[in-house]
Structures are given as structure tokens and as C-alpha cells.
Amino acid sequence: MKKFKLWPMLVAGLLVAVFTSCSTMHKSDEVTMTGMMVCGKCKLHITPECQNVLQVTDQNGNTVNYFLAQNDVSKAFHDNICQNDGEKTIVTGTVEEKDGKEMMTASKIDAAQ
């Protein structure tokens, strides 16, 4: 009978470990990239609506477009780049691939010097 009392405690301990590691892992997923921020609609003509796109040059010299999610951080910076040639920026956030595109959810955007 004592074995059955250990199972709930073991399961509870494993759940705590999993949730703790997931929350820690999520925080470490943020990256910081420097590149040219442009409007996907006005400058690149590749999005149906205005959207921030961070253009970063990879190690092979190719340009990679990171489409920024429409959150408060991204929207607050958009006036700086819309309908002009863009601005060199430093963006911190999380990156994921969605529908064959690199998507970035920015937590911070600063103009690069």
C-alpha cells in the first residue's frame, strides 16, 4: 500500500520540475539582432499591410527577413521606418518559423548608432 502513496508525490514532483524548466527555457529563447528595419508594405512590397521587417545579413552574405509580430513594441517603432528607407536597429525578442517565414516577437527595439 505504501507504493501507491508514493506515486502522487512522484507525479507532483515531476510536474513541478517540468513547469520550472519550461518557464526558464522560455526566458532564454530571446535573441538580440542588429539589422535594417524597413516597412514590409511601403519599402519591400511583400506584405499587404504595414509591418516591421528586420533585415539581417547572415554569415553567407544573404539577407534574411524577420517579420515582426504586431505587438505594442513593434507598433511604437513603426513610424520611424514607414515610408522611408528604414533605420538600422537593434531588436531583442523571440524568433520562430511560421509558414516558411522567420517571425520575431520583439520585446525591445532600439535605434543602432
pLDDT score for 113: 79
Mean pLDDT (10-residue bins), the chain, 113 residues:
57 56 56 97 96 96 96 95 94 95 96 88
Q: Where are the beta strands (DSSP E) in 1-113?
A: 31-39, 52-57, 63-68, 87-98, 101-111
Domain 30-111 belongs to what architecture?
A: Beta Barrel (2.40)
Q: Are 103 and 66 in contact, with CB atoms under 8 Å apart? A: yes
pLDDT score for 60: 93
What whole-number distance in Å separates Cα of residue 60 and Cα of residue 38?
21
pLDDT score for 4: 55
pLDDT score for 90: 97
What whole-number distance in Å separates Cα of residue 19 and Cα of residue 11?
12
